[in-house]
Amino acid sequence: MFYIIEVQDHVRVDPELFALEVKTALAKQLELTYANFLDKDMGAVIAVLEIGKIGEGIIVPGDGAAYYEATFKLLVYKPELQELAFCRIEEITNFGAFMNLGILKGMMHISQAMEDYVNFNKTNALTGKNSKRSLKKGDLCLARVIAISFKSGEPKIGLTMRQPGLGKLEWINDDKRRAKLKAGKAERLETKKKKAKAKKEE
């Protein structure tokens, strides 16, 4: 899930940024500080959106950098259990697929790829035995987050596509078209029955 959070903190600005206007220096320092920043409680920082109130700068003896108390807003992504995530397949293996969620990566076990028995084949694709649907590197998908672990560095995110409405985007669109055609056919049949009944009653 994406969030905008407001932070109040003392920001250390390196001396090489002193030539810049204070707000610009703070913006550059925050971009450096929060580049690739990941925290279990906060999530993964995507961008520094804006800087609000800036206090007086102080220099700590023996440091040389300036410290400013400031409020600023960050755009973050924090994975949540059961949320839907658009992702791109980055790599296919014999045990599943590694999925790129944008700022973080997830893993989908081969058993979670689709409602079918799935095989890993020589062309580096996962293929359903009955449906013949296949997944390959670069495919765009919609998956659900079913597991999150922050035990070591970057979170481990488990994904599934074994639920209605999930899977490769092409499959989802195909299923919608089929459902629409089926509904239209049922509606036409019902209209035909009503007309036949009305004609019979005349």
Q: What is the per-residue pLDDT across 91-110, written as a single tens digit (0 to 9) for each?
A: 999 999 999 998 899 999 99
Lowest mean pLDDT among 34-43, 81-90, 128-137: 34-43
Instruction: Using alpha carbons, list the distances in angstroms from residue 51 to 17, 47, 82, 84, 128.
Output: 16, 12, 33, 31, 50
- pLDDT at residue 151, rounded to an integer: 81
pTM > 0.85: yes or no:
no
What's the mean per-residue pLDDT of the chain? 91
Nearest Cα to Cα of residue 5 among 92, 102, 78: 78
**What's the distance, Cα to Cα, between the start and end of the chain in Å?**
60
The pLDDT of 140-152, averaged and rounded, is: 92
Residues 61 and 48: beta-carbon distance below 8 Å: no
- pLDDT at residue 41, rounded to an integer: 87
Answer whether residue 122 shows pLDDT above 90: no
- pLDDT at residue 186, rounded to an integer: 82
Instruction: Tell me the percentage of the chain whose pLDDT exceeds 70.
Output: 100
3.40.50.2020, 3.30.1490.120, 3.20.20.140, 3.30.70.2860: which CATH number matches 2-77?
A: 3.30.1490.120
Which superfamily, per CATH, for 84-175? Answer: Nucleic acid-binding proteins (2.40.50.140)
Question: For residues 137 and 41, which has the higher predicted lDDT (pLDDT)?
Answer: 137
**Angle, CA 112 vertex, CA 106 and CA 118 arms, to 5°:** 120
Q: Tens digits of per-residue pLDDT, 53-80?
A: 999 989 888 888 999 999 999 999 999 9
Answer whether residue 17 shows pLDDT above 80: yes
- pLDDT at residue 150, rounded to an integer: 83
Cα–Cα distance for residue pair 105/59, rounded to 1 Å? 40
- pLDDT at residue 155, rounded to an integer: 87
Cα–Cα distance for residue pair 136/90, rounded to 1 Å? 9
3-state helix, strand, coil split of the chain in percent (to 5) is 25, 45, 30
Q: Tens digits of per-residue pLDDT, 125-138?
A: 999 999 999 999 99
Nearest Cα to Cα of residue 38 among 14, 74, 72: 74
Question: Domain coordinates of the chain in residue numbers?
Answer: 2-77, 84-175
Residues 45 and 7: beta-carbon distance below 8 Å: no
- pLDDT at residue 24, rounded to an integer: 94
Sheet holding 134-135, edge to edge: 118-120, 126-128, 134-135
Residues 80 and 144: beta-carbon distance below 8 Å: no
Answer whether residue 202 shows pLDDT above 70: no
- Give the residue ranges of DSSP H helices in 59-138: none
146: confidence class by pLDDT, cuts 50, 70, 90? very high
Residues 106 and 99: beta-carbon distance below 8 Å: yes
Neighbouring C-beta atoms of residue 137, cutoff 10 Å: 13
The pLDDT of 22-31, averaged and rounded, is: 94
